[in-house]
Amino acid sequence: MFVTEPFHVRTKYKYPLWSLTRKKNRLLIQTRTYLFIIASNKDKSQVPQVPIVSPNQKTSKPEWLRAIAPERVHSRFRQLKDTVAELGLHTVCEEAQCPNIGECWNGGTATVMLLGDTCTRGCRFCAVKTSNRPPPPDPLEPFKVAQALAEWNLDYVVLTSVDRDDILDGGADHFARTVELIKLVKPEMLVECLVGDFSGNRQSVERLATCGMEVFAHNLETVARLQKYVRDRRANYQQSLDMLREAKKLNPRLITKSSIMLGLGETDLEVKQTMLDLRKVGVEALTLGQYLRPTPQHLNVVEYITPERFDHWKRNGLEMGFLYVASGPLVRSSYKAGEYYMKNIIESQKNIHSYE
């Protein structure tokens, strides 16, 4: 039990102190630290915190966050890497320093990044380079991507892009033409598009939602309270939810998907509410992963979430009605996107709507 000091007591300290009378057991407690002391005895996941940028933070990663070096796994990785370099393409796997690059590429899933390698936004968690005036997109990029995918032995591809606020439609038409060309050369390939928010432009969302993809993905990234600390100021929680709702409304055949990073200071209640908000707008697939700071100039990790806690969120997600939940420390938005269960969901959706 903590007791605050009577107001008449005067000490040399800046804040009031309360001390026990017995010399050997003297206890000096600053009253303004009471809440901190109480909070430190609680589970961090119950206490709201805020991430900061502090280049001096040095924390060792727990054992469960060690990933296999991608160069040491088999030949498919090298084939994809060589083709990407030869055609001048970009992958978010490389640009964002994803820890699962070897596992995904060797498992038959790749994430191609469209519209160049420079983003017009500056989210405080992302390693992709930024500029207010990036180079113009390569008009031949949709053809190059389709050509590369025709050569690769893949059955599932994830297309994503940098944000392009400098383009009128945010690059939606460029994105959609890439999907259409892929379907032209390889109709059986399943395509997931992980897109930005296009500043809430409904026409851009419609162009993409109806271009032939199977999975429409857009990431909330974090809980509502932390949006302003984590994402660029032009992104916001409600705009992202509205976009996911609109995509599903425009094309009910789509699987809609989102992702949340943990370890940025969110509480369990906030994570649960975010998951419920996603279900309310019809999102069916969810990934949850540990935030890892890419450079000292990015947000600090507030907490490392245990694998057991990620398992807890997977169970919760399935109970809420998500059809697919990938949850783990090294899980990312596109992690094992083409795994067997996800493909089954896509096929089930196709069969349901074929009878309508």
**H/E element, 248:** helix 237-250
Residue 296's domain is classified under what CATH number? Answer: 3.20.20.70
Which residue matches tokens 């395509």? 191
Secondary structure letter of residue 70 according to DSSP: G
The answer to whether position 184 is within a domain reads yes
The answer to whether position 59 is within a domain reads no
* 119 labelled binding-site residue: yes
Given a contact cutoff of 8 angstroms between Cβ atoms, the answer to whether 220 and 196 are in contact is no
**H/E element, 106:** helix 101-106
The answer to whether position 131 is within a domain reads yes
The answer to whether position 16 is within a domain reads no
65-83 pLDDT per residue, tens? 875 555 545 566 666 677 6
Number of domains the chain contains: 1
* 93 labelled binding-site residue: yes
Predicted TM-score of the model (pTM): 0.79
The answer to whether position 240 is within a domain reads yes
pLDDT at 319: 98
pLDDT at 22: 44
16-40 pLDDT per residue, tens? 444 444 444 443 333 333 333 334 4
Task: Specify whether the backbone of 108 is left (phi greater than 0), alpha (psi in -120 to 50) or beta.
Answer: left
The answer to whether position 23 is within a domain reads no
Domain containing 347 equals 76-354
* 98 labelled binding-site residue: yes
Q: Write the CB contacts of 261 (distance below 8 Å, at least 6 apart in sequence).
A: 125, 221, 222, 230, 288, 289, 290, 291
The answer to whether position 115 is within a domain reads yes
Residues of the chain with pLDDT below 50 are 1-41, 72
- Rounded Cα distance, 134 and 126, in Å: 17
Amino acid identity of residue 281, one-letter, is V
Residue 239 has a CB neighbour count (10 Å cut-off) of 15
